[in-house]
């Protein structure tokens, strides 16, 4: 039962962070390009890579892992939103923007996981 609470609490935090980031679309691209989803997915990927680099080195309780990785980051990242926005761009005939969204999201998000992981490993090695 505690695991469900831990995940739900983390999910609430991640969801609120996602909601806050949602205003980026209109602020920076007049709603034309789904920038907030891209930012959320890339920063979420960076965070998961960075934190996994730390968890890979230290013993972290299962509840903390559930809270952070499934709860916060699961509530924060938005693959389903990314998919819907890409579908809508294609449906509206915005194929170039849709393709740019897919390419940028995939490459930047995977790159961010690698970057986060290696930054955490480098920092941990500095403070041995």
Instruction: Please say if the pLDDT value at position 32 is more than 90.
Output: no
Helix, strand, coil percentages for the chain (3-state, nearest 5): 85, 0, 15
Determine the pLDDT at residue 54.
93
- Is residue 128 very low, low, confident or very high in pLDDT (cuts 50, 70, 90)? confident
Structural domain count, the chain:
1
* Cβ within 8 Å of residue 95, ≥6 positions away: 89
Determine the pLDDT at residue 29.
75
d(CA 72, CA 78): 12
Question: What mean pLDDT is predicted for residues 13-17?
Answer: 96
- C-alpha R_g of the chain: 16
pLDDT in tens, 44-80: 999 999 999 999 889 999 999 999 999 999 999 978 8
d(CA 82, CA 36): 10
| pLDDT above 90: percentage of residues in the chain | 77
Determine the pLDDT at residue 62.
95
Following DSSP, what letter does each residue of 73-106 receive, concatenated? HHHH--HHHHHHHHHHHHHTT-HHHHHHHHHHHH
User: Would you say the pTM of this structure is higher than 0.85?
Assistant: no
Instruction: Please say if the pLDDT value at position 31 is more than 90.
Output: no
Q: Which domain holds residue 86?
A: 2-126
């Amino acid at each position: 039962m505690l695991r469900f609470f831990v995940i739900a609490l983390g999910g609430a935090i991640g969801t609120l962070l996602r909601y806050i980031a949602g205003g980026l679309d209109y602020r920076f691209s007049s709603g034309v390009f789904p920038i907030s989803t891209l930012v959320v997915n890339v920063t979420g990927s960076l965070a998961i890579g960075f934190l996994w680099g730390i968890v890979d080195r230290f013993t972290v309780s299962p509840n903390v892992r559930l809270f952070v990785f499934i709860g916060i980051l699961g509530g924060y990242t938005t693959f389903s939103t990314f998919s819907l926005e890409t579908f809508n761009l294609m449906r509206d005939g915005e194929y170039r923007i849709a393709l740019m969204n897919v390419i940028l999201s995939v490459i930047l998000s995977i790159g961010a996981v690698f970057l986060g992981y290696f930054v955490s490993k480098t920092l941990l090695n500095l403070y041995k």
